[in-house]
Amino acid sequence: MRRFEVDQNSLPDLPGMMLATIEALHKLGGSATIQELDEEVISLEGVTEAEQSYMMANDTMPRVNYFLSWARTYLKRGDALENSARGVWALTDKGAKIGALAATQAIYEQVKQEERDRAKAKRKAAKAQEKVQEDEGAQDISDAPDEDNDWKSKLLDVMKAMQPDAFERLAQRLLREAGFVKVEVRGKSGDGGIDGVGVLRVNLVSFQVYFQCKRYKGNVGSKEIRDFRGALEGRADKGLFITTGHFTSQASEEATRDGAKAIDLIDGERLCDLLKANKLGVQTEMVEQVTVNDHWFDGI
C-alpha cells in the first residue's frame, strides 16, 4: 500500500512522503544523494512514469520531485535528517528511530505550528501591512526547499528558449571544456536521434562517445533511452544523453541495465552545475572582504 499518491492537481500526503523518505534512506544505508533518494522513494512507492511526468505549473520540476524536496525540508526542520554542502542527505539518530506514520505526522504538525507562530509574529511586527493569509497547503513554509536554486531555474529557462542547433553547440562547447576532443555536431533528421560525437581520452585509452542533447520541459522516459541505445549499436563505445529536463527512475535504470551498452545521463540540474563549474554563461561573484591592519600603520 502506498504512503502517498501523485496527482496532477491535488496536494500529496506529505507525512506519507516523509515516511517513505525515511524508509528509502534506511534501504540506501542511511545516506544518499538527492537523485538516489528520489529514485528509491519512487521505486518503493511504485510511482509510474506517467505520474513522474506530472509537472508543476511553471514546468520547472516534476510534481513528485518537488514535493519530495518539501518532505526532506520538513524532516530536516524536525531534526530527522541532515544534509551536507555536497547535497548528501542522511538520517540523524532521531530519524533512524522513526518507523511509523504517527512520527512523521507529528513533525509535520510541529513545523506547521512553527510557521503559524512565525506568521503571527510577522503580522504583529507589521501592523500597518495587510494581514497575511496562511496557506494550509504544503507550500506554507516561507522558505524554499533547501536544494532549490533560483539561478538554476533562470538558467534552465534560458536554455529551453534556445534554438535546437544553438543548444547542440552549447553541448559541444561543454564537452570540449570537460576534456573531450574531436567533438562534432551531427544532429540531422534520419540520424536516429544522435546529435554529435566526441572522443574522451582517459590516460592511454580513448572512448568514442555519441551524444544526444534535447531541450525538455518534462521527463525523459525509458523509451527515449532505449531508442537512443538502438541508434548507438555498432557506432560508439558509449552514449551520453543531455537534457534540460529530468529522467524518470525507469530511464535511469534502463541507462545502466545489465548486458546493455551503458548510457550516461545529464539532467537539467547537473547541466546547470557543469555550466557553472566551467564558467559557461554563469558567473560566480565573490563578496570582497576588507580588513584594516592597524599594526601596519605603526611602522609608518
Distances in Å between the Cα of 136 and the Cα atoms of 11, 21, 147, 219, 287 are: 11, 22, 22, 29, 38
Whole-model pTM? 0.72
Q: For residues 261 and 229, is the Cβ–Cβ distance under 8 A?
A: yes
Q: Are 192 and 208 in contact (CB under 8 A)?
A: no
Select the more confidently predicted residue: 265 or 137: 265
DSSP annotation of 85? T
| Residue 138 pLDDT | 46
- The torsion of the CA quartet 85, 91, 92, 96, rounded to 10 degrees, works out to 180
Does residue 239 surpass a pLDDT of 90?
yes
pLDDT of amino acid 296: 73
Mean pLDDT of 19-33: 94
Q: Please tell me the predicted confidence (pLDDT) of residue 147.
A: 53
Asked whether residue 132 carries a pLDDT value surpassing 50, the answer given is no
Q: Per DSSP, what are the bridge partners of residue 263? A: 239
In this prediction, residues 116-138 reach a mean pLDDT of 65
